[in-house]
Structure 1
Amino acid sequence: MAPINTVNNEAFKEMIKTLDKRYEMPSRNYFSKVALPALYKQCREEIRKEIADLPFYATTTDLWSSRTMEPYMSLTIHYIDEDFEIKTRCLQTSFFPEDHTGEAIAQGLVEALASWDLQQERLVCITTDNGTNVVKAAALNQWTRLQCFGHRLHLAIDRKARTLIPTWQDTEVLESINQALQPLLEFTDALSSEKYVSISFVKPVLHLFSTSILKTTDDATTLTNTIKTKILTYLEEKYQDPETQELLDMASAVNPRFKMRYVNENRIAPIQARLISEMVAPANMEMGPTDPCGGTTGNAEDGPSGPKRRKTLGSFFKGSCGSTSPNQEQQTVASELQAYLQCASLDSENDPLDWWKEHGKLYPRVSKLAKKYLCIPATSSPSERVFSTGGNVVTCHRASLKPEHVDRLVFLAKNL
């Protein structure tokens, strides 16, 4: 985004005159005080309407300091819309002068969601780096947190391979290091995308690391095998906590490419039970309260104060015998899940969201869980990209921008 004072540049004015001699260039004050605030307000309102009734969403956050060492906190939102398209929005790049304690960050994140009327209960997961303060903030808010795969992989390489790096003269050793680390770069780039599903790949990628990419081989050098072993051991250790494992299993299960393929055998039954439980819960909420005979209650206007309606012939058959019992609902949900799990798996090169767009009506309850879990980013790269945009806004020539102007410009640059 070009600086506003570009409109005062004589060469720019000359170019505009060449394009259209009748056009009168507005002043710099017009753009800074009228045009940009109006555009920001319009864009913010459109996004507010877009995310107002989201049943599920995920977020990422990160902290950053500008060229003038002013601290900012970013927040991005990720969700899957009705057309099974994954969406990403930058909600804020807010000035954060408070101490970066877990308590302050937790409160700042809660206030950020509240400013957009987003319910915390619908937040599926927040993806962050491994900073102690951010980890504590997620814990204080009792939010499910996913550790950034990119950061974790970087730490695995840095901490476990750094002590093995030799001097530049040891070409054979350098080749061994390159042989061990080069394949990991592609995985980091692939899992950092915002345009397609990424979280359901984490469990398969870790499996691929252990069985192929980071597996020791006889033809590799001792140093190469040592690096591979240390990195793999570190990753397996950091992804062993039950909450993370369950989240990754759920995401993998609703991806038609993987389903239960990468879920441990002793975890298949619990994961299927949780899938069924979450599939039943929304259905019960949509049915609404029921009367003693098993039918749903009517509107308020049908009560004693409203006009009495004539019964239809069909109403005589709407008794307890025609209602769906909890056991029947459970069986229906279980049958839908089994039908989904037994259908042909999607090719690994195909987009799972395209598959769900086509098959969502066949498995309506499972498709809702797909929207819930597949929107979670595997890395916190979206927030880091916000700060890359912020670095392009707060340049050495615009180091005096006020924080509210930085937030506005970054917001427009990311969302327009």
Structure 2
Amino acid sequence: MEAEGDGEGEGEGSCGSSALAQVKSEPKSEEEDEDEPEELVPKRGNRSSAVWLWFGFRTSDVEQKTVICKTCRRQIATSDSNTSNLFYHLKTRHEALYLESLRIRDHLPLRSNGGHGAHGAHGAHGKGPKGRRKEPSPSYDEQSRRHRDITEAICRFLVSEERVCVASADTVRRRGFRELIRTLEPRYALPEAKHFTEVQLPRMYEECRAEVAEELRAADYYALTCGGAPPYVGLTVHFVDRHWILRSRRLQTGYLPEERPADGVASLLREVLDSWDLRRDMLVCVTADHVAATAAPEEGREWNGLQCFGLHLQTAVEMSLKTSSLSQAAVSDAVGMCKQVTAAISNSLKRRCDLAKAQVDLHVPIQHLKTENPSRWGSRQQMISRFLQQEKAVKQVLLEDRRVRHLTPTRQDMQILESINLALTPLKEFTDAFSGGEYISVSYVKPVLHLFKNQILKPRRDDPPLTGSIKEGILGHLCHTYADGPGQRLLDAATLLDPRFKSAYVDPERLDGIRSRAVAEMELLMAGVRAEVPAPPADEPDPPATAAKKAKRSLSSYFKKAASPGAASQPDRASAELELDTYLRTADLDPEKDPLEWWRRHELNFPWVARLAKKYLCVPATSFPSERIFGAGGDARAPTASCAKPQRVDQLLFLSANRRKT
């Protein structure tokens, strides 16, 4: 029985097993004996099969009953629209055309009429009309462009996952992922995970590293941030490029088996500087959450250091709670009770359901309780604030469950938590603002400290005693931390070079010293640039023929004064002071505007002050840029990540952080 439609079988169809005999016995057409064969016309109507590209009909064959091969002009026995014998003819007599027909057929779109066409019911991996399995389509060669593109796309997907450390090493081994790739592209053979980890990832890493290195070579100055999640420590570089755009690039993720010993962090910094060929004299500062990375040069290190502002603020909060007006035990008990209640409800499905029901009954916002994370800034305030919002619902859940009824907070506990929340709530916005890495933050430290002292942390008459005590403790710790020292001088310079602030938040008694240091740095820059300019060639005597011809002197040449050998147009120090004073007299920039955009427009007006601004404004105030990648990359201590080699973790986090930026 003959099959209907354009079946794609190869050697099957209406002729079945007699196809070979039919082709061998088929007579040659009359046009083969003519010098100029008759032109063939294509098949009318439905031509969904690719095989019709090589077959046609005579012009005189109005009803198109006799199929003729365009290559050898042989007549092919077939019936209706069955193409089995056509494919068989190409396979036995024109092998190259047969392979080409398979390639074209595999890329034809899927037809909607269930069963006809290149990918219908009789697709490449299906069965023909008589149940015989067809030949599978050949897989892509590993060196083909299509295979390489798919492999690279998968690799980009692996390094762009939100939990790259946890997922990347195991994704390609998962059955569901492999079935997805097989369904999307049956001809693509997915390589093993070893191919991605040992071939593709290192190749992408080297390409991305070369791009980052090229950017760093063009940077005048740079700063580093150091931080992470033990046992891994990340290093990120920050610089202002020639377009006055603040750039951040991940450099390396180091593995320190112990809890980040002092010599380990310092050794990692030296290793990174050497491996990236970064000049130490161009390193402005290292911002970190560890003392070893922020030691000053006079303390035995090769770089200036600035401790993380967020870490200082968190430490100030901890110290203020311990030295508050109330007994340390009362404050500790209230905070400990809040942690226990939060854990008791969050870790029980039944209590979470009871909390949701109580929230509906009491018309309280439906929200989960928050737990404190010691490594996350402001998490204690967020836990206490959420606990106070859900006080009624929490008490109802505790009173209904006799196993946790003893955790019901007392009135004194709630008063202590309210006082703590009242003192810490204004600080939440500042911790969030300093966490950003895409804008200038170091010049904000001095203005924020001024704001803390005069508004945010200034005790009020209506403040509870505990709230006032906490504010005083936080402010005292911050003022002591940012006393005179290398870090203080760096903050003064950054604030002075920010056109939004300038000298507004600088102690007037310190202003002259800050200006003197800025002028001295500008003098060094001028001297360095002058030393790099090659000396003009010595005057050579004119040739005899030219010396005979003397040019006539103009009248103005008699009044021209010879310059003294060592005299400059203006002394460097006077020029630097004039430029700095002119900059300080310009109108202050709106605090909502971008200072780097201002410097881009005024660089020609203040060239030497602009170079200092590019130097100091690239320093981050916190180490968050180096810690953020661990939140995006997943927990580095997870079981699947802990099995990965440190070199592999470094490559994954490097690509995850930098491929979106380069």
Deviations 1:140-184 (A, max 9, x none): 224211111100000100111143626343323322211110111
1:381 and 2:624 are equivalent in the alignment: yes
C-alpha spacing 1:258/1:50, structure 2 compared with 1 (3 Å): same
How far did 1:48 drift?
A: 1.2
Q: Distance in 1 between matches of 2:214 and 2:457?
A: 46
Go from structure 1 to structure 2 and tell me whether the alpha carbon gap of 1:79 and 1:318 turns closer, same or farther (over 3 Å shift).
farther
Structure 1 residue 137 displacement after superposition = 8.5
SS of 2:431 mapped into structure 1: helix
Name which of structure 1's ranges 99-108 and 153-162 shifts more when overlaid on structure 2. Answer: 99-108
2:177 to 9, 12, 31: 12
Instruction: For residue 319 of structure 1, report the CA deviation from its aligned partner.
Output: 6.0
Superposed displacement of residue 113, structure 1: 0.4
SS of 2:251's equivalent in the other structure is: strand
Give the conservation status (yes or no) of the 8 Å contact 1:356–1:367. Answer: yes
1:98 to 1:217, Cα distance in 2 relative to 1, 3 A: closer
Aligned partners of 1:60 and 1:76 also within 8 Å: yes
From 174, 184, 192, the equivalent of 1:27 is 192
User: Does the CA-based 8 Å contact 1:127-1:380 persist in structure 2?
Assistant: yes
Q: Return the offset for 1:321.
A: 4.8
Match of 2:308 in 1: 148
Determine if the alignment matches structure 1 residue 88 to structure 2 residue 331. no
2:51 is aligned to: none
Q: Which amino acid aligns with 1:320?
A: A
What CA deviation, in whole Å up to 9, does each residue of 1:305-333 have, x standing for no partner?
A: xxxxx99x9xx989635976385332222
Q: Is the 8 A contact 2:245 2:596 kept in 1?
A: yes
Task: Give how far 1:18 is off.
Answer: 4.1
Counterparts of 2:183 and 2:640 in 1: how far apart (Å)? Answer: 27
> Identity over the aligned pairs, expressed in percent?
39
Partner of 1:77: 237
Counterpart position of 2:644: 401
Looking at structure 2, the residues matched to 399 and 14 of structure 1 have their Cα atoms a distance apart, in angstroms, of 27
| 1:364-410 superposed Cα distances (whole Å, 9 cap, x missing partner) | 11111111001101011122223334544553234311111111111
Q: State the alpha-carbon separation in 2 of the partners of residues 397 and 98 from structure 1.
A: 20
Task: Decide which structure has greater helix share.
Answer: 1
> Is 1:115 aligned with 2:275?
yes
1:298 equivalenced with 2:463 (yes/no): no
Does the alignment pair 1:45 with 2:210?
yes
* 1:255-309 Cα deviation digits (max 9, x unpaired): 000000011001111111111111222122112278xxxxx6137xx799xxxxx
Q: Which has the higher contact order (CA 8 A, sep 6+)?
A: 1
For the residue of structure 2 that corresponds to 1:385, the secondary structure is: helix
Question: Against the structure 1 CA distance between its residues 132 and 247, is the aligned structure 2 distance closer, same or farther, given a 3 Å change threshold?
Answer: closer
Corresponding residue number in structure 2 for 1:248 = 491
Q: CA shift at 1:38, angstroms?
A: 0.3
Contact 2:320 2:469 in 1 (8 A): no
With normalisation by structure 1, the TM-score equals: 0.87
Maintained 8 Å contact 2:446/2:491: yes
Q: What's the CA shift string for 1:191-238, capped at 9, x where partnerless? A: 121100000000000000000000011122222111111111111111
- Local SS of the residue matching 1:84: coil
Alignment partners' CA distance in 2, 1:333 and 1:243: 23
Q: In structure 2, do the counterparts of structure 1 residues 289 and 60 end up closer, same or farther at CA, with 3 Å as the change threshold?
A: closer
Alignment of 1:14-413 (within 5 A): 14-62=179-227, 64-65=229-230, 71-97=231-257, 100-129=260-289, 131-135=290-294, 139-162=299-322, 163=328, 165=331, 167=334, 168-169=409-410, 170=412, 171-288=414-531, 297-298=535-536, 320-321=563-564, 325=568, 328-389=571-632, 391-392=634-635, 395-413=638-656
Structure 2 equivalent of residue 68 of structure 1: none
Residue by residue, what CA displacement relative to the aligned partner does 1:74-104 show, whole Å, maximum 9, x if unpaired?
2111111111111111111122347854344
Q: 1:25–1:277: structure 2 CA closer, same or farther, 3 Å change rule?
A: same
1:106/1:137 contact within 8 Å kept: no
Root mean square deviation of aligned Cα: 2.9
One-letter amino acid matched to 2:654: F
Q: Distance in 2 between matches of 1:281 and 1:38?
A: 42
1:83–1:318 Cα change, 3 Å = farther
1:242/1:327 CA distance change after superposition, 3 Å: farther
SS at match of 2:593: coil
**Would you say the 8 A contact 1:52–1:117 is kept in 2?**
no
Query: Which structure: larger Rg?
Result: 2
Question: How many residues of Structure 1 are paired with residues of Structure 2 in the alignment?
Answer: 396
Query: Which sections of structure 1, spanning at least 5 residues, go unmatched?
Result: 66-70, 291-295, 305-309
Q: Which amino acid aligns with 1:385?
A: R
Cα–Cα, structure 1 residues 118 and 319, in superposed 2: closer, same or farther, change >3 Å?
farther
